[in-house]
Amino acid sequence: MSSYAPARSIALMAPLASTAVDLARAQFATTSIYHFLFVPLTLGLGPIVATFQTMWHRSGDERWLRLTRFFGTLFLINFAIGVATGLVQEFEFGMNWSVYSKFVGNVFGAPLAVEGLAAFALESTFLGLWIFGWNRLSPRLHLATLWIAVLGTWMSAYFILVANSWMQHPVGYKIVNGEAQLTSVWALLSNGFALRAYLHTILAGLIFGSIVVLGVCCWHFLRGHEADLFRSAAKVALAVAVPATLLQLVVGNRFGAAVTSAQSMKIAASEAQWNTCQPCGFSLFQIGGFTASDPTPSFSITIPRLLSYMATGSFDGQVQGLNQLQAQEQRKYGRGNYMPNVRVIYWSMRVMAFAGVLMFLVAAAGAWLYRKRKLERARWFQWTAIVAIALPYIAATAGWVLTEMGRQPWIVQGLLKTSQANSPNVSTTWIGISLGVFITLYVVLGVVDFVLMRRYANPERPAPREELAEAVASY
Amino acid sequence: MDLQTLWFVLIGVLWSGYFLLEGFDFGVGMLLPFLPKDERERRMMFETIGPVWDGNEVWLVMAGGATFAAFPAWYGTMFSGFYIALLLVLFFLIVRVLSFEWREKSESARWRATWKWANAVGSFGASLIWGVALSNLLYGVPINSSGDFSGTFWDLFSVYTVLGGVTLVLLFAFHGATFLTLRTTGDLCERAASAARRLSVVAALVVAGFLSWTVAVAVDRNDKSVFPPILPAVLGIAAVAAATFFALRRRSGLAFTMTAAAAVLWVATVFTSLYPRVMVSSTGFGNSLTIDNASSAHYTLAVMSVVAAIFVPLILLYQGWTYRVFRARVGGEEQVPEPTGGATTA
């Protein structure tokens, strides 16, 4: 910065700086949402494929081997993209958010490093063993490599969510010389917010895996292809999907209550609740009411007392309003706007919740048809299940938008603002260029991934028996 | 040894592991357009690294994560400062990942040629940039008094740092060639051996030049005395000279051991030359980041030390086992599962 006119250059840089933050945010949102399209499918498809292989190992029934290979290929295509896009996430904190990195490194860096050492190394190495170990390991050991890789992916998710949850609900730290320092690793690892987020995410993963498998099975039923084979897979998928979607409705709700105590503003925004209420109704749908100047919706459908119950566990509970919270935060942190974008938060919460309910209905209908032995013939359901593959993707994306945008203006709740956390030395131009590079790369990745997934999921496969040997080699 | 020093050493170890392991798969990638004569041989080359490249890349993830946790200021300044360089690394690494996963998924010759070149360019580019980036830590980049990088992308390029990149490219290509002589058979193995011989002399000369220059840079720009940096440098030069000798004598196993040692000693020389600084500032030596002013507090380092003490040996154990499982040479013939199940048990 030039020394002769500091005031002027600061004035000139202010709008640029906000663009840099906006671009860096856009980049993080793009890359992390994209990353998380692949991660939960890995979390859920892994144990399902491992179950298929376990069934084969136990029964010797070749159907299970063919299902293992068939869905294993989808699992691997998906895993590879998760790895590639995960590396971007690790580098991006330092590249775009160096002030944040220096502020939180003591605390936030630790679970990231542990993830690498304890989990990522495990899953990558053992997945390599599984892919190429078909002829080199004993069947029992080979099966074990897949389960160990699955364990790695689940541990990975835990440590990443410990890191993320610390941004939502910081615990086990003190501030020394303007940086957060860890004081208790146990507080960090047992953060109630993290444990709930983990359960929520693991269930999301299982829902991803089971809904995708169910959809693919239905595609094959629709074409009348190998109904016998895919009935077995559909049974496993339904056995996962029904309890997982049902439990998720409960867990998601309880998670909401945890958010209420840690991030009241996020919950108030997700309900577009401008003023404190007691008891509070849950708005299912509304038109208008998303800005301070227009706080009352012109139309809404509301279920009485439900919000009180969801947020506090009691039908008479009090939920604080945006205006009151804003006043509190101003007293605590000084002047500024402490409200996230209410419209976006309100709708992301609903999209997530409605998609969750729809997935439960799909799973329940599927289970009922399966019991009635109609699954292979109910074309309306087969089409529904194929379309429903989109639902977990929509729900997960909306969920992260709610979690991360609902935290704004903070990057670490109550400790550091997003607008002050980006790299001071990275120009807007280069953040823009790198955003362009990632978007281009990810679009290519996405298109090729979709084409490959579609090809490998398509009813021409799995390969007939005599091609099985070759399929093993071409992994 | 204080915990800062321990973590500096450990991060050096993680980079060494990364260069030793991903070094040969970068090398195999760079040789892809030149060594194989046909599709079968290309598949053999992919097969030699297919089971392990992912596990190799883990070492980079661990080095990055360890730097973030143990030296947040180093991580923040280096990653934001080397922005464009790291963007390129990410680009090259992603393109490489894709080539491994997707090459086999279509029979089309054009599809396969595309991914072959993608892998080669990705391997070459990532090696080059890592060499440039790490040698810049020592050579010095503009760092202001608040500890932030204040230069531009072009500040990363000087004759010394570009030589650092070229050194890694040649060393990894040599390392990859000696690896292939151990893992392949027949004609391909012969051609890999001859590539190793041709690469050996030039790689040895460039590595020797770079490592000697590194000691000089440590003295000139980082206030070090000749000893201890001279020690890993001399060992590194000896290793690459021995690798050349063994490659010319067709002693594949020993040649590979020596190229591996040279990759480790490359890192050891740069890190020994750096210590106790982690990034030298070229605009005011006092602005340099050191293991003290860039590190996390004692508690974090202590916790992370326990984690590392448990998991690093475990990783070495299971990755070592992986290499044992896949130690058989790749013949390029179709693999047929044996009726009884497995051939190898551990």
Q: Could you read off the pLDDT of B248-303 as tens digits, one per residue? A: 998 989 999 999 999 999 999 999 999 899 999 999 899 999 999 999 999 999 99
Interface subset of B 64-83, CB within 8 angstroms of A: 64-66, 68-73, 75-81, 83
Q: What percent of chain A is modeled with pLDDT above 70?
A: 93
Q: Give the gap in angstroms from C-alpha A235 to the nearest C-alpha of chain B.
A: 27
pLDDT confidence of residue A465: 43
Q: By C-alpha distance, which of B32, B87, B83, B20 is closest to B56?
A: B20
| Model confidence band, residue A462 (pLDDT cutoffs 50, 70, 90) | low
- Using CB atoms within 10 A of its CB, is residue B227 exposed (0-12), middle (13-18) or buried (19+)? exposed
Structure letter (DSSP) for residue A388:
T
Q: In this prediction, does ipTM exceed 0.95?
A: no
**Closest to B308 (Cβ–Cβ): which among A115, A117, A124?**
A117
Distance, CA of A470 to CA of A316 (rounded, Å) = 64
At B289-338, the pLDDT tens digits run 999 999 999 999 999 999 999 999 999 999 999 888 888 787 655 443 33
Q: Give the gap in angstroms from C-alpha A401 to the nearest C-alpha of chain B.
A: 25
| Model confidence band, residue A261 (pLDDT cutoffs 50, 70, 90) | confident
Q: Give the gap in angstroms from C-alpha B55 to the nearest C-alpha of chain A.
A: 5
How many Cβ atoms from other residues are within 10 Å of residue A463's Cβ? Answer: 16
Distance, CA of B42 to CA of A310 (rounded, Å) = 59
Q: Which amino acid is at A209?
A: G
| Model confidence band, residue A18 (pLDDT cutoffs 50, 70, 90) | low
Q: Which two tokens stand for residue B188?
A: 């391909």
Distance, CA of B170 to CA of B198 (rounded, Å) = 11
At A329-367, the pLDDT tens digits run 999 998 989 999 999 999 999 999 999 999 999 999 999
pLDDT confidence of residue A461: 53
Mean pLDDT of A97-104: 93
pLDDT confidence of residue A13: 47
Q: Which residue has the higher pLDDT, A248 or B222?
A: A248
CB proximity A377 to B under 8 Å: no
- Using CB atoms within 10 A of its CB, is residue A316 exposed (0-12), middle (13-18) or buried (19+)? exposed
**Residue A448 and residue B322: Cβ atoms within 8 Å?**
no
Distance, CA of A405 to CA of A457 (rounded, Å) = 35
CB proximity B44 to A under 8 Å: no
**Contact present, A278 and A318 (Cβ < 8 Å):** yes
Distances (CA, A) of A74 to A101, A121, A125, A240, B335: 35, 21, 19, 18, 21
**Residue B336 and residue A469: Cβ atoms within 8 Å?**
yes
**Closest to A131 (Cβ–Cβ): which among B51, B94, B105?**
B51
pLDDT confidence of residue A253: 83
Residue carrying the six token digits 């227009």: A294
**Residue A181 and residue B299: Cβ atoms within 8 Å?**
yes
**Contact present, A155 and A46 (Cβ < 8 Å):** no
At A301-315, the pLDDT tens digits run 988 888 888 888 888
Q: Which residues contact B327 (CB under 8 A, 6 or more apart)?
A: none
Q: What percent of chain B is modeled with pLDDT above 70?
A: 95
Range in A13-27, A176-190, A218-232, A337-351 the model is least confident about: A13-27
Q: Which residue has the higher pLDDT, B111 or A54?
A: A54
**Contact present, A245 and A207 (Cβ < 8 Å):** yes
Q: Give the helix/strand (H/E) hosting A371.
A: helix A342-371
**Contact present, A447 and B103 (Cβ < 8 Å):** no
Q: What is the pTM of this model?
A: 0.90
φ, ψ for residue A174, nearest 5 deg: -140, 160
CB proximity B142 to A under 8 Å: no
**Which residue of chain A is at minimal alpha-carbon distance from B56?**
A125
What is the maximal distance between C-alpha atoms in chain B?
69
Distance, CA of B83 to CA of B287 (rounded, Å) = 20
Distance, CA of A331 to CA of B200 (rounded, Å) = 69
Q: What percent of chain A is modeled with pLDDT above 90?
A: 55
Q: Which residues contact B346 (CB under 8 A, 6 or more apart)?
A: A137, A141, B321, B324, B325
CB proximity A1 to B under 8 Å: no
CB proximity A68 to B under 8 Å: no
**Contact present, B311 and A155 (Cβ < 8 Å):** no
Structure letter (DSSP) for residue B334:
P
- Using CB atoms within 10 A of its CB, is residue B329 exposed (0-12), middle (13-18) or buried (19+)? middle
Residue carrying the six token digits 């179950």: A51
Q: Is a pLDDT exceeding 90 seen at residue B1?
A: no
Mean pLDDT of A442-460: 79
Residue from A106, A123, A422, A474 whose CB has the most chain B CBs within 10 Å, to mutate: A106
Distance, CA of A127 to CA of B21 (rounded, Å) = 17
**Which residue of chain B is at minimal alpha-carbon distance from A182?**
B300
